[in-house]
């Protein structure tokens, strides 16, 4: 079957070593073709793991093991030589010890299975900002997802064969098959205490064992494009960030590009694809999750989206909240842990219409359709972290330049999270260092994107990188501060902190979000365009009275005022929490510039 071959000695040796360790029944090097995708998908359907959707062209539904539904942060390791280099926010194991454990677990782990060798590129193939990797996996489901999420194929393999440069990513579901044994439609994975999502930053290598889901298994995404890439970025003077990239066009046809860092499942995909509610403005998508940024010769930061698809949260996605995502997932899409309808389509809570008849829930059980477009807690038809994997090129609002290898010049960075109180709708940093301070204090209510007992609680998630920074977060703050010295204030992106998630006393969201976030984007655009539309406050620059367009907005002027004013008491508590609980975590690694920003803020609040 092998049509593609690895000729580079280094790559060949690495693959041969993994074959000897994992002992697969067969080895197959992927060519990235449609025929390959179709063949593997057919095998997955024939084996009972995938259910083809009658109502959606070339789309298949998968149900995972109930224990394997999201990223496992407690089982995610940064195995640097020194513990200090992993820092206080990562789990650390000595790399030699971890390799010993993983080698033990991996011996014969692919017995009864095919080993797929996936040459892939993060970023347009051959882009100066992009990187190549090879993922070895024993999951055809992972191969199909990687086809959508990255650029897979012979062109990438040619580059790897020529250069010998690639990031090795070894993945196994950790469930070898005995002779004659089959999965029989059951999602293969290992028990929680045998799962390891391991990163070796000095070697730039990834080793993931025991999980087949999302960021645990699609190793180009969080493992390579964030954890390992953040280390490369530190060493090489660029940025690998958990950021969407959008293109904003104002009514005069002027264009600016904006990136935004938000924790998982905080609406990055929705923001990247939003349909403005204010006339004349246009949003187009470059990326919805990750941005790699390098300085160009002109001193501006240029961003590429290293991915080629969207791995979006399904529940809550509908024609109102994100029509473009719904359109992107219309066909050629992989759905995971969604519900199945009688007429062969997917269904999830918040899809925008009630289901009919009997459904099959994400656990494979028959259930009557809920009366409304939602279900009681614990009874959901779709898992809260159910996902769609859809090709980015199917997005109706994908920007023409989304695959430009040189990237797009960034005018603004947004930071945000789910904060029910204190943080206003929008404020701008006074300067770069103050912006880095804002990034460093981001907090958010934990969502179902991670298996955690903290779901719903606010946790600090600096730069939305808490689970994704491949080195000491204190050094990461320093890297951001240092980058600010590499260019001029005019060329550097302006930095904003936004919060769509303020709640009233009854726990209802005050701001409608979604398309109405365009009102905030317009203000940010005008800030970057030099418009006199801001006032100085104790916490930074905020919209002048009337500078946010509220025409047609369904929020009372008093409520708008509330979320656009400084909550002095709230900020005082915030400062206390940062001073006592957040910043001390970084010890001597906390850059003095950030401690100084905290002091200045406290002083200004009086």
Q: Enumerate the active-site residues.
A: 266
Beta strands 301-304; 26-29: pairing state: unpaired
Smallest distance from ligand SAT to CB 99, Å: 24
* Cβ 209 vs Cβ 174: under 8 Å: yes
* Cβ 318 vs Cβ 400: under 8 Å: no
* Cβ 516 vs Cβ 510: under 8 Å: no
Q: If you compute the radius of gyration of the chain from its CA atoms, what whole number of angstroms results?
A: 24
| Residue 76 contacts Mn ion per CB under 5 A | no
Q: Which of 289, 345, 403, 516 binds Mn ion (CB under 5 A)?
A: 289
Smallest distance from Mn ion to CB 486, Å: 26
Smallest distance from Mn ion to CB 390, Å: 15
| Pick 134 or 244: Cβ nearer ligand SAT | 244
From Mn ion, ligand SAT, none, interface partner of 214 (C-beta below 5 to 8 A by class):
ligand SAT
How far is Cα 448 from Cα 221, in angstroms, rounded to an integer? 18
Restricted to residues 442-461, the positions that interact with ligand SAT (CB under 6 A) are 449
| Pick 214 or 435: Cβ nearer ligand SAT | 214
| Residue 321 contacts Mn ion per CB under 5 A | no
Residue entry with tokens 């359109």? 327
Give 71's strand partners: 450
How far is Cα 458 from Cα 438, in angstroms, rounded to an integer? 16
Buried b (16+ CB within 10 A) or exposed e, 480-504: bbebbeebeeeebbbbbbbbbbbee
How far is Cα 107 from Cα 237, in angstroms, rounded to an integer? 38
Residue entry with tokens 């005082």? 572
| Pick 28 or 388: Cβ nearer ligand SAT | 388
Restricted to residues 537-556, the positions that interact with Mn ion (CB under 5 A) are none
Q: Which residues 6+ apart lie within 8 Å of 252 measured at CB?
A: none
Binding mask 54-93 for ligand SAT (x = CB under 6 A): -----------------x----------------------
* Cβ 325 vs Cβ 310: under 8 Å: yes
Restricted to residues 251-270, the positions that interact with Mn ion (CB under 5 A) are 264
| Residue 264 contacts ligand SAT per CB under 6 A | yes
| Residue 362 contacts ligand SAT per CB under 6 A | no
| Residue 311 contacts ligand SAT per CB under 6 A | yes
* Cβ 360 vs Cβ 81: under 8 Å: no
Position closest to ligand SAT via CB? 215
Binding mask 194-233 for ligand SAT (x = CB under 6 A): --------------------xx-----xx-----------
Restricted to residues 364-403, the positions that interact with ligand SAT (CB under 6 A) are none
Contact residues toward ligand SAT (CB under 6 A) are: 71, 214-215, 221-222, 264, 311, 449
Contact residues toward Mn ion (CB under 5 A) are: 264, 289
């Amino acid at each position: 079957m092998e049509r593609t071959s690895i000729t580079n000695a280094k790559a060949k040796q690495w693959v041969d070593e993994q074959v000897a360790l994992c002992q697969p029944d067969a080895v197959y090097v992927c060519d990235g073709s449609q025929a390959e995708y179709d063949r593997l998908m057919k095998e997955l359907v024939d084996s009972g793991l995938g259910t083809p959707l009658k109502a959606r062209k070339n789309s298949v539904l998968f149900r995972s093991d109930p224990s394997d539904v999201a990223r496992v942060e407690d089982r995610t390791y940064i195995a640097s030589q020194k513990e200090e280099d992993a820092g206080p926010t990562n789990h650390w194991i000595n790399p030699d010890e971890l390799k010993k454990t993983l080698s033990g677990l991996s011996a014969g782990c692919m017995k009864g299975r095919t080993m797929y060798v996936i040459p892939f590129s993060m970023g347009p193939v051959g882009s100066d900002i992009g990187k190549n990797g090879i993922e070895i996996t024993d999951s055809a489901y992972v191969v199909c997802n990687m086809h959508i999420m990255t650029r897979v194929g012979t062109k990438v393999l040619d580059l790897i064969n020529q250069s010998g440069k690639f990031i090795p990513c070894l993945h196994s579901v950790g469930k070898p098959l005995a002779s004659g044994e089959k999965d029989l439609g059951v999602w293969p994975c290992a028990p929680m205490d045998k799962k390891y999502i391991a990163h070796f930053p000095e070697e730039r290598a990834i080793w993931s064992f025991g999980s087949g889901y999302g960021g645990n298994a699609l190793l180009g995404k969080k493992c390579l494009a964030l954890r390992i890439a953040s280390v490369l970025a530190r060493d090489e003077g660029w940025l690998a960030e958990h950021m969407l990239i959008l293109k904003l066009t104002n009514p005069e046809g002027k264009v600016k590009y904006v990136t935004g860092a938000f924790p998982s499942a905080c609406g990055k995909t929705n923001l990247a694809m939003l349909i403005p509610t204010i006339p004349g403005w246009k949003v187009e998508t470059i990326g919805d999750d990750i941005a790699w940024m390098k300085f160009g010769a002109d001193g501006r930061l240029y961003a590429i989206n290293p991915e080629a698809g969207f791995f979006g949260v399904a529940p809550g996605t509908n024609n109102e909240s994100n029509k473009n995502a719904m359109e992107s997932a219309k066909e050629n899409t992989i759905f995971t842990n969604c519900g199945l309808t009688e007429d062969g389509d997917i269904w999830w809570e918040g899809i925008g219409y009630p289901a009919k008849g009997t459904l099959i829930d994400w656990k494979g059980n028959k259930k009557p359709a809920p009366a409304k477009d939602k279900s009681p807690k614990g009874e959901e038809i779709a898992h809260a972290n159910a996902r769609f994997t859809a090709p980015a090129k199917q997005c109706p609002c994908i920007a023409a330049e989304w695959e430009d290898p040189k990237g797009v010049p960034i005018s603004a960075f947004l930071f945000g999270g789910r904060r029910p109180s204190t943080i206003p709708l929008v404020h701008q940093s006074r300067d770069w260092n103050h912006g880095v301070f804002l990034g460093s204090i981001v907090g958010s209510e934990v969502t179902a994107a991670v298996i955690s007992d903290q779901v719903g609680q606010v946790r600090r998630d600096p730069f939305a990188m808490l689970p994704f920074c491949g080195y000491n977060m204190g050094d990461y703050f320093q890297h951001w501060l240092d980058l600010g010295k590499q260019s001029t204030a005019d060329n550097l992106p302006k930095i904003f902190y936004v919060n769509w998630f303020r709640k009233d006393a009854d726990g209802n969201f005050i701001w409608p979000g979604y398309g109405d976030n365009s009102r905030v984007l317009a203000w940010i655009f005008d800030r970057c365009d030099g418009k006199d539309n801001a006032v100085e406050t104790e916490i930074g620059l905020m919209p002048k009275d009337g500078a946010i367009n509220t025409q047609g907005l369904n929020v009372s002027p008093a409520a708008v005022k509330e979320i656009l004013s400084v909550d002095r008491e709230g900020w005082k508590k915030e400062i206390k929490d940062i001073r006592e609980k957040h910043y001390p975590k970084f010890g001597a690694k906390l850059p003095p510039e950030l401690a100084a920003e905290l002091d200045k803020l406290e002083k200004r609040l009086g």
